[in-house]
Structure 1
Amino acid sequence: MQPVDGVIRLTETGRGSSCRVDLSADQARLLHESRVVDVTGGPKSWLIKSRSVVGVARVGDLEVWITPKISISRLLFLVGYSSNPDVWREGEIGLDEAAGLVPTVAQLFARQVETAIAPGLLRGYRTEHQSSYVMRGRLNVARQVTHHHGRVVPFEVEHDDYTPNIVENRFLLATIDRLLRLPGIGVARFALEEQRSAMGSLVDPWAGSLIPRWQPTRLNNRYHSALRLAEVIWRASSPEYGPGSVQVSGFFFTMWKVFEDFITIALGERLLTATRIGHVDFQYHCKLDDEDEVNLYPDLVWWSNGKVSAVVDAKYKVEHKRDRNGLLFQILSYCVALDTKAGHLVYARSDQPSSRFTVKHAGIELHLHSVDLATSSLDDLRRQLDFLADKVSGNQR
């Protein structure tokens, strides 16, 4: 079959996770090299299968829409929690998710921006620099000397303006522009265009490619939710080279990265809170061999009493027994390199009980733990993480 209007629709898992479509050789090559999806077959009919990317990705002249297996509110919670565990609450979203990931996020952002700016645009002091024949504010001696080489006029002056053209408003406006460039944002487009019109005459959008730094304060409290969601949108929509070597743009999350970040941050937080001793290292760099040739980077290392007590690695998918065996060898290498007797592999699955393997002649225990991200309540997800923290810390055998 042909992609409808250049769009290939998939689900992350299940029956809709693959489809057969007619593509040109160039289209198939670009999709394959992007690594957003798996591409096999040819020379005309190709089997397209989802990997671990969800959202909307533009690859060449095609769009790939991949629906996540977990709810959109849960996905945004996982992404947001990794950035700031103290402020993200799943229940705040409260939207109909049937429209899909991009329309839901756009609608949520439009609502949060409306809440933020309804009392009026936030204002603040911003230092302005300009050349002027009238002395206004302070003379910038350094700029005067370097720009005018001893001439008296014009003056290089700077002054503080109380203006809405501050980083918070500029960031929100730039995020609105990003969303308006995305395909399929649905009914949120009208609200975003109105907000763009209201802000555009007073605010210059943030022009940088990096997320701007803003400081949460009492004064900008009503902006906090919108700004934090703006950060999520920028991370998901920045034009970039995706998992492969082909430039990919759109709005998408790489689920293995979302899962890895969430598990390490949430587990590290619980280990420190529950035990109040020791410390954690993320992506800890160590060497496997005495010659220092083989580099290892376990996701989380738990230190207690001055030595490594446990090592943890998070993997989003463990689909086959051969995958499990390879990952167990990887955890074993971490344990050997760090001289610890406990290794833990954590993966996303709902139907797999925890298991333990004792390595012959070594006394090393390798633990497998599954975490159900799609569980019906956040309380249950928290209980799973508390149980996992007890296992890693040694409080529960």
Structure 2
Amino acid sequence: MLQNIVLDELQTSSDPVELEREVAAMLRDTGLVAVLPAHGDRWTVLPTGTVGAVQVGNLLVEVKPKEKVGLSRLLFLLGYATNPGFRPEDVAGVEDTDLFAALGESLVRQGLRALERGSLSGYVHVEEALRTVRGRIRVGDQMTRRPGMLLPLEVAFDDFTVDIAENRILRAALRLMMQVPRLSDDVRWRLAHLDSKLDGVSELRAGAPLPAWKESRLNAHYVPALRLAEIILRNMSAEAGLGTHSVASFVVNMTTVFEDFMTTALEEALDRYPGETVGQYQAFLDVAEPIRRRSDRVRMLVDFVHSIDGIPAMVFDAKYKAASPSGAYPNADHYQMLAYCTALDVKTAWLIYAGPGQARVRRIRNSVVSVVEYPIDLSQSPEDLLARVQKLSVAAFEKWRVSEKNASLCAS
């Protein structure tokens, strides 16, 4: 019988549960939860700041995001952060039930659409040693590797094959998903059926970076499956037989997910305006002095800075934090933004929080700096999420434009 433990990301206490010692150790090693001994064979399971799910044998542990972000929304955030071409329909229909069952079913559905016309083929550049001439002879490599030898020949050619990046990624995701314990027989059979359609496609080495591919007219029908496959390969792990139990985990850090999503979304939204948006912008809080080494200065890494004509114009910082019961956010965030504005000579800072609510402006005493708290509700639809970011970019640019106009009037 499947035992299910569901926790909230911000949960600080839970009732002890009975677990085998081996299961408790495996669960702890995934990093999703802390597993603390209670008494006897009972353990206290608490979230550690990440979200996702872990399945160890018959135990399923899920940690839900604080804003009740469903699986489809989480997959959208992950996908869009990696590729702004990621579309909401790429994860449409993913049910917010058992995470692994939903991922398996969704991968099957997208895989069937991708392979319904057969596996995709394409040209791959190959360099290898052959006993016959094919393509062109790599004379330099032949002389270096086989001086004085006629055979084998170092040749290079373009081969039309199914062993292309798109098929390697899809097959790797299918095979990883097949290792997840307790998937239904129907889903497992369909995963195996799709894998058989990719006969002749080489396996990706464990830990190797995913091969690069580009969206085109030829692979358009593959794209939704590929984007879901990449999310699975980057965030999930599975062991078919670790000890006496099978283990699968899908663990993500929502702070990183939110910051990565905002970086990509803001870059896209601000692209319509002059200037350049840079993530993790490097700056210094203190003034450079001849006697002070660069390593001794107070270094700052600003989440996003949009510069116009090479001068910082807009400052943004993304915070995946919970507000207090009164709706206030930590004071330290405002101190940080004041430091950014002072060092970069920017008048307005935008604090982007993950959560519902309306924007709020705080004017800093005895300064020209204002800090705008700008919440973004992650439970919104992908279209509304991107529209909210677009609205932020418009507000930030207009605020800067008015500020520059007023400065020009004062100067004249």
Residue in 1 aligned with 2:314? 310
Structure 1 residues 49, 160: closer, same or farther in 2, change over 3 A?
Answer: same
Mapped contact 2:170–2:229 kept (Cα < 8 A): yes
Mapped contact 1:10–1:17 kept (Cα < 8 A): no
User: What is the percentage of aligned positions where both structures have the same residue?
Assistant: 32
Q: How far 1:314 sits from its partner (Å)?
A: 0.6
Structure 1 residues 155, 89: closer, same or farther in 2, change over 3 A?
Answer: closer
Mapped contact 2:34–2:46 kept (Cα < 8 A): yes
CA RMSD of aligned residues (A): 3.5
Determine whether 1:80 maps to 2:118. no
In structure 2, the residue corresponding to 1:119 is in which secondary structure? coil
Instruction: Choose 108-117 or 33-42, whichever is displaced more.
Output: 33-42
Residue in 1 aligned with 2:333? 327
Instruction: Choose 327-336 or 157-166, whichever is displaced more.
Output: 157-166
Structure 1 residues 31, 162: closer, same or farther in 2, change over 3 A?
Answer: closer
Partner AA of 2:117 in structure 1: P
In structure 2, the residue corresponding to 1:298 is in which secondary structure? strand
Mapped contact 1:144–1:156 kept (Cα < 8 A): yes
Instruction: Choose 311-320 or 263-272, whichever is displaced more.
Output: 263-272
Mapped contact 2:9–2:51 kept (Cα < 8 A): no
Q: Gaps spanning 5+ residues in structure 2: where?
A: 239-246, 403-412
Partner AA of 1:338 in structure 2: L
CA distance, structure 2, for counterparts of residue 205 and residue 8 of structure 1: 33
Pairing partner for 1:36 from 24, 32, 35: 32
Q: Gaps spanning 5+ residues in structure 1: where?
A: 240-247
Mapped contact 1:287–1:294 kept (Cα < 8 A): yes
Map Cα deviations across residues 351-387 of structure 1 (whole Å, 9 max, x no partner): x433222222222111212111113x44433443233
Mapped contact 1:79–1:258 kept (Cα < 8 A): yes
CA distance, structure 2, for counterparts of residue 84 and residue 46 of structure 1: 40
Partner AA of 1:211 in structure 2: L
The equivalences for 1:1-397 within 5 A come to 9-13=5-9, 18-21=14-17, 36-38=32-34, 42=38, 46-57=43-54, 64-68=61-65, 69-85=68-84, 87-95=85-93, 97-186=95-184, 187-200=186-199, 202-207=200-205, 209-237=208-236, 250-273=249-272, 276-290=273-287, 293-304=297-308, 306-320=310-324, 324-350=330-356, 352-375=357-380, 377-395=381-399
Mapped contact 2:181–2:248 kept (Cα < 8 A): no
Map Cα deviations across residues 82-104 of structure 1 (whole Å, 9 max, x no partner): 2222x333245343514322222
Mapped contact 2:94–2:103 kept (Cα < 8 A): no
Structure 1 residues 139, 73: closer, same or farther in 2, change over 3 A?
Answer: same
Structure 1 residues 368, 9: closer, same or farther in 2, change over 3 A?
Answer: same
Mapped contact 1:67–1:100 kept (Cα < 8 A): no
Structure 1 residues 324, 381: closer, same or farther in 2, change over 3 A?
Answer: same
CA distance, structure 1, for counterparts of residue 24 and residue 324 of structure 2: 27
Instruction: Choose 319-328 or 71-80, whichever is displaced more.
Output: 319-328
Mapped contact 1:358–1:364 kept (Cα < 8 A): yes
Structure 1 residues 253, 131: closer, same or farther in 2, change over 3 A?
Answer: same
CA distance, structure 2, for counterparts of residue 286 and residue 309 of structure 1: 14
Q: Aligned residue pairs: how many?
A: 379
Structure 1 residues 335, 145: closer, same or farther in 2, change over 3 A?
Answer: same
In structure 1, the residue corresponding to 2:216 is in which secondary structure? coil
CA distance, structure 1, for counterparts of residue 138 and residue 300 of structure 2: 51
In structure 1, the residue corresponding to 2:198 is in which secondary structure? helix
- TM-score, normalised relative to structure 1: 0.81
Q: How far 1:14 sits from its partner (Å)?
A: 7.6
Partner AA of 2:279 in structure 1: F
Instruction: Choose 382-391 or 31-40, whichever is displaced more.
Output: 31-40
Q: How far 1:320 sits from its partner (Å)?
A: 3.5
Partner AA of 1:37 in structure 2: V
CA distance, structure 1, for counterparts of residue 286 and residue 55 of structure 2: 43
In structure 1, the residue corresponding to 2:271 is in which secondary structure? helix
CA distance, structure 2, for counterparts of residue 51 and residue 392 of structure 1: 34
CA distance, structure 2, for counterparts of residue 41 and residue 325 of structure 1: 36
CA distance, structure 2, for counterparts of residue 84 and residue 134 of structure 1: 42
CA distance, structure 1, for counterparts of residue 313 and residue 127 of structure 2: 55
